[in-house]
């Protein structure tokens, strides 16, 4: 089995390289920079997610695509448009052209970040982006829906929370997705039978979690980690934007030029 991972040089790409290997599985790592080390069950492709020919070639022979590639936070509109919105169209279109059956799309909580973080936040929370970045994730989910309905691709969109080694702040005690749980979630999205089109939250089993895990549970995700063990390190600091799903992303513009 071959899995194409776009954005493989990024943080989540690194987490997955350490956690997705299985006997008989090859990870095809695509990014704009070549990795220093390529493991025995890895292949490297140096290309941009915006290059349809290169992406179609990279998809050829793959059984699934994990599309992580793109800008991972707020950025000027033109950059978001090119790398995230066009790049995600290219990922779906390349998968279709190459006959790849399944795409796992790294969406984000910021696709719905301007909703109040009420308890509980359901799986079917409508989109409500908090940034241009969030708009790109809404667009990616919409493309996934289209490619499922029109071309029968299986598409699992993961509205990922705060995926980092440890929760960086008080909000992260609710929104953290541990590296190991990230591996478990992507593994479930890759291997669950016939998911159709789905959008699920990507979060660990955090004591302070308010986002539903029912949808992710349906595809077989069983989180093992809880951010609560970091509570003493993080402290009780909360920001006034912590009342939004997207936290600080729902606050003032990050940069006057954006
Ligand atoms: C995201 O989507 C970002 O990629 C990441 O950098 C974090 O900001 C995360 O969301 C979050 O909401 O904590």
Predicted local confidence at residue 240, as pLDDT: 63
In the chain, % of residues over pLDDT 70: 95
Residues near 206 by beta carbon (within 8 Å), at least 6 away in sequence: 173, 174, 175, 176, 225, 226, 227, 228
DSSP 114-178: TSB--SSBPTTPPP--SSHHHHHHHHHHHHHHHHHHHH--EEEEEEE-EESSS--STTHHHHEE-
Distance 161 CA to ligand 1 centre (A): 6
Distance 97 CA to ligand 1 centre (A): 31
Predicted local confidence at residue 208, as pLDDT: 94
**Contact predicate 5/190, CB 8 Å:** no
Q: Catalytic: which of 15, 89, 133, 221?
A: 133
Average pLDDT, the chain: 95
Q: How far is CA 142 from the centre of its chain?
A: 14
Task: Compute CA distances 69 → 82, 160, 201, 240, whole Å.
Answer: 12, 14, 19, 31
Gap between the Cα atoms of 196 and 13, Å rounded: 24
Best residue among 67, 73, 80, 111 to mutate for probing ligand 1's pocket (most ligand atoms within 8 Å of CB) is 73
Is CATH 3.60.21.10 what the domain over 2-250 is classified as, yes or no?
Answer: no
**pLDDT tens figures, 148-197:** 999 999 999 999 999 999 999 999 999 999 999 999 999 999 999 999 99
Question: Does residue 25 carry a pLDDT above 60?
Answer: yes
Predicted local confidence at residue 254, as pLDDT: 62
Predicted local confidence at residue 239, as pLDDT: 65
Predicted local confidence at residue 231, as pLDDT: 94
State mean pLDDT over 19-38.
96
Query: Can you read off the two tokens belonging to residue 153?
Result: 């691709």
Of ligand 1's listed atoms, the one at least distance from the Cα of 113 is 12
**pLDDT tens figures, 200-229:** 999 999 999 999 999 999 999 999 999 999
Protein residue with least CA distance to atom 7, ligand 1: 162
**pLDDT tens figures, 30-47:** 999 988 899 999 999 999
**pLDDT tens figures, 59-70:** 999 999 999 999
State mean pLDDT over 69-97.
98
Protein residue with least CA distance to atom 1, ligand 1: 108
Task: Compute CA distances 179 → 112, 215, 255, whole Å.
Answer: 22, 19, 29
Question: Does residue 235 carry a pLDDT above 80?
Answer: no
Give the residues surrounding ligand 1 with Cβ less than 6 Å away.
Answer: 72-73, 108-110, 160-162, 175, 247
CA quadruple 126, 129, 130, 135: dihedral, nearest 10 = 170
Predicted local confidence at residue 243, as pLDDT: 87
pTM of the model: 0.96
Which long-range contacts link 77-84 to residues 24+ away (Cβ below 8 Å)? 77/132, 77/258, 80/132, 80/133, 80/135, 80/136, 81/136, 82/50, 83/49, 83/50, 84/133, 84/136, 84/137, 84/139, 84/140
More confident residue, 91 or 241: 91
Domain segments of the chain: what residues?
2-250
Predicted local confidence at residue 241, as pLDDT: 66
Active site residue 133: yes
Question: Does residue 110 carry a pLDDT above 90?
Answer: yes
Q: Which range has the worst mean pLDDT, 74-88, 200-214, 226-240?
A: 226-240
Confidence bin at 256 (pLDDT 50/70/90): very low
Predicted local confidence at residue 204, as pLDDT: 98
């Amino acid at each position: 089995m071959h899995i194409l991972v776009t954005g493989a040089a990024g943080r989540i790409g690194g987490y997955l390289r350490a956690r997705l290997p299985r006997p008989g599985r090859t990870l095809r790592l695509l990014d704009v920079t070549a990795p220093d080390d390529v493991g025995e069950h890895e292949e490297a492709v140096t290309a941009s997610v915006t290059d349809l020919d290169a992406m179609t070639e990279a998809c050829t022979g793959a059984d699934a695509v994990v599309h992580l590639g793109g800008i991972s936070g707020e950025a000027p509109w033109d950059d978001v448009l090119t790398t995230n919105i066009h790049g995600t169209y290219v990922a779906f279109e390349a998968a279709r052209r190459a006959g790849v059956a399944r795409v796992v799309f790294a969406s984000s909580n910021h696709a719905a970040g301007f909703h109040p973080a009420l308890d509980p936040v359901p799986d079917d929370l409508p989109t409500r982006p908090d940034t241009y970045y969030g708009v790109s994730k809404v667009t990616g989910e919409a493309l996934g829906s289209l490619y499922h309905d029109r071309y029968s691709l299986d598409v699992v969109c993961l509205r990922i929370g705060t995926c980092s080694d440890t929760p960086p702040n008080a909000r992260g005690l609710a929104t953290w997705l541990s590296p190991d749980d990230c591996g478990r979630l992507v593994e479930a999205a890759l291997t669950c039978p016939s998911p159709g089109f789905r959008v699920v939250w990507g979060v660990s089993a955090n004591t302070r979690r308010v986002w539903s895990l029912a949808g992710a549970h349906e595809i077989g995700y069983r989180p093992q980690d809880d951010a609560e063990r970091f509570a003493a390190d993080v402290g009780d600091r909360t920001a006034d934007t912590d009342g939004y799903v997207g936290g600080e992303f729902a606050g003032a513009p990050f940069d006057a030029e954006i």
